[in-house]
Amino acid sequence: LAPMSIGETHACLSTHFGVWVAQAEFAASEKDLDFGHMRDQLRRIMAGESSLFSLSSNNAMVQLVGSGVRVMENRVDSKKDLEKLLKATCEAFIMAVTKTIVEPMLSFITKVTAVKVSTTSSKPLKEQAFASHAKVVEMIAKVNEALDNTLPK
């Protein structure tokens, strides 16, 4: 096996992660006990509004036990979270590859813009040191090298 570049490694991992997210089931059910409705009963007992010792249906313990415990079921789906993470990872990969490939051209374009905006330079662009034939060829070679080494094959 030939060694892979960082770009190829990242693309391979993103592809496999994407397949895994598409095929796997990431939903789970959670069950919780809800005692929230018992709060009112306990408040009445503590406030003396309801008696623990009465022999009627208004007995606080009878009402407390009779109201029961609620079982709440929640379904949690983490697949969407993983899809967001995969999207962010792919976008970061695209930005990193784009920056690596375009960087030599951006530097050149920035210098060209500075010369064009500057009114003090009387030399034509092709006579500027950074825009010589050799420098332009060097910039193109750097872009081609970045294309060859960064993009997955």
Model pTM score: 0.50
More confident residue, 118 or 58: 118
User: Could you give the percent of the chain with pLDDT greater than 70?
Assistant: 86
Q: What is the pLDDT of residue 141?
A: 93
Report the Cα 117 to chain-centroid distance in Å: 40
Gap between the Cα atoms of 93 and 23, Å rounded = 23
DSSP helix/strand/coil, 98: helix
Instruction: Look up residue 75 and give its DSSP letter.
Output: E
| 44-57: average pLDDT | 75
Asked if 50 and 41 count as a contact pair (C-beta separation under 8 A), the reply is: yes
- How much is the mean pLDDT over the chain? 79
**Residue 21 pLDDT > 90, yes or no?**
no
Can you read off the two tokens belonging to residue 108? 């050149």
Other C-beta atoms lying within 10 Å of the C-beta of residue 146: 19
